[in-house]
């Protein structure tokens, strides 16, 4: 809920310390709040995706706008990883360690991008952004199975598909540091999707559900967007997508 960026990063690292010192209590909370608006700074202003101005990467502003959109994703990703820790109380301990680890990596990503953005002469908040990532997080707060399917395995997995072309574009405009950062992000995001896959499978097993059919079912019934390629099959495979799932993606 902390809206101030620096205080949020500070509190997150304190949280990670507490975890590593085994200071977490696993007593259940009586009330778990729905979080329509997690802590975030006043800016960026949020607009609907169709109202985001399209900018060419060739211009300095377009270059910064691309970095800004990634910064926004990473910032949201901190909130959504922490929400996965806070909200779902019946998971094994390792689940909480996994998602705290994700939160830590997201904050590292955010800070790298934020610094790079500063080199380009901009800061987080200078461009409008959309709220799709949090919206889906909010809409999946009733069920960790649906959350794992739609947030890490669909939205974060989309990052695996779009990052390599983005790396090529940055390379073509000579942004070496940008290329370097995105490569780190891609590597780490494979791990985040894998965490989602692992806990998705765990929950399917507990409920005697076929993970392949269940994933398709959730995409068809809960996902607003279309699942569109091109997909990064190799990265998705590394992130735990099964052969059946890969074959299915190839039909879309």
C-beta of 133 vs 146, nearer to Fe ion? 133
Smallest gap from Cβ 89 to Fe ion, in A, equals 22
| Residue of 192, 197, 199, 204 that binds Fe ion (CB under 5 A) | 192
Residue 240 CB neighbours (<10 A):
19
C-beta of 61 vs 110, nearer to Fe ion? 110
Give dist(CA 35, CA 15) in Å, integer: 19
Length of the chain: 252
- 109, 185 in Cβ contact below 8 A? yes
| Residue of 106, 141, 194, 245 that binds Fe ion (CB under 5 A) | 106
Per CB under 5 A, does 72 bind Fe ion?
no
Residue 41 CB neighbours (<10 A):
12
Give dist(CA 250, CA 11) in Å, integer: 42
Smallest gap from Cβ 238 to Fe ion, in A, equals 14
Q: Taking contact as CB under 5 A, which single stretch among the options 16-24, 39-47, 73-81, 200-208 is the one that binds Fe ion?
A: 73-81
| Residue of 109, 114, 153, 158 that binds Fe ion (CB under 5 A) | 109
Residues 6+ apart with CB under 8 A from 160: 186, 189, 190, 193, 232, 235, 236, 239
Smallest gap from Cβ 73 to Fe ion, in A, equals 7
Q: Taking contact as CB under 5 A, which single stretch among the options 19-27, 50-58, 192-200, 231-239 is the one that binds Fe ion?
A: 192-200
Q: Please, which of residues 15-54 interact with Fe ion by CB under 5 A?
A: none
Take residue 74 and report the two structure tokens written for it: 């990473």
Q: To which residue do tokens 């490569």 refer?
A: 183
Which DSSP category does 46 fall into? Answer: B
Give dist(CA 67, CA 161) in Å, integer: 17
C-beta of 8 vs 192, nearer to Fe ion? 192
Greatest pairwise CA separation for the chain in angstroms: 53
Tell me the site size for Fe ion, rule CB under 5 A. Answer: 7
Take residue 233 and report the two structure tokens written for it: 């099959």
Bridge partners, residue 129, by sequence: 46
What mask, x for binding Fe ion by CB under 5 A, covers residues 148 to 177? --------x---------------------
| Residue of 66, 77, 80, 157 that binds Fe ion (CB under 5 A) | 77
Smallest gap from Cβ 195 to Fe ion, in A, equals 9
- Binding residues for Fe ion, rule: CB under 5 A, are 74, 77, 106, 109, 156, 189, 192
């Amino acid at each position: 809920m902390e809206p101030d960026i620096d205080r949020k990063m500070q509190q997150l690292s304190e949280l990670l310390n507490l975890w590593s010192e085994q200071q977490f209590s696993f007593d259940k909370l009586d009330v778990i709040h729905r979080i329509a608006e997690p802590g975030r700074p006043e800016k960026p202003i949020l607009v609907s995706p169709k109202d985001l101005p399209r900018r060419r990467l060739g211009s300095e502003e377009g270059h910064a706008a691309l970095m800004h959109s990634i910064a926004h994703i990473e910032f949201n990703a901190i909130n959504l990883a922490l929400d996965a820790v806070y909200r779902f109380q019946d998971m094994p301990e390792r689940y909480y360690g996994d998602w705290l680890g994700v939160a830590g990596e997201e904050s590292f990503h955010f800070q790298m991008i934020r610094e790079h953005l500063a080199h380009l002469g901009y800061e987080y908040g200078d461009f409008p952004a959309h709220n799709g990532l949090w919206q889906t997080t909010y809409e999946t707060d009733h069920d960790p199975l649906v959350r794992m399917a739609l947030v890490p395995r669909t939205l974060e997995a989309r990052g695996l598909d779009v990052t390599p072309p983005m790396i090529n574009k940055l390379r073509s405009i000579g942004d070496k540091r940008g290329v370097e950062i995105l490569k780190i992000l891609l590597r780490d995001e494979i791990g985040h999707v894998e965490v989602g896959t692992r806990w998705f499978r765990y929950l399917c097993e507990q409920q005697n559900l076929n993970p392949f059919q269940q994933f398709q079912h959730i995409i068809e019934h809960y996902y607003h967007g279309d699942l569109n390629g091109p997909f990064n099959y190799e990265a998705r495979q590394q992130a735990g997508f099964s052969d059946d799932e890969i074959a299915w993606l190839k039909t879309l």
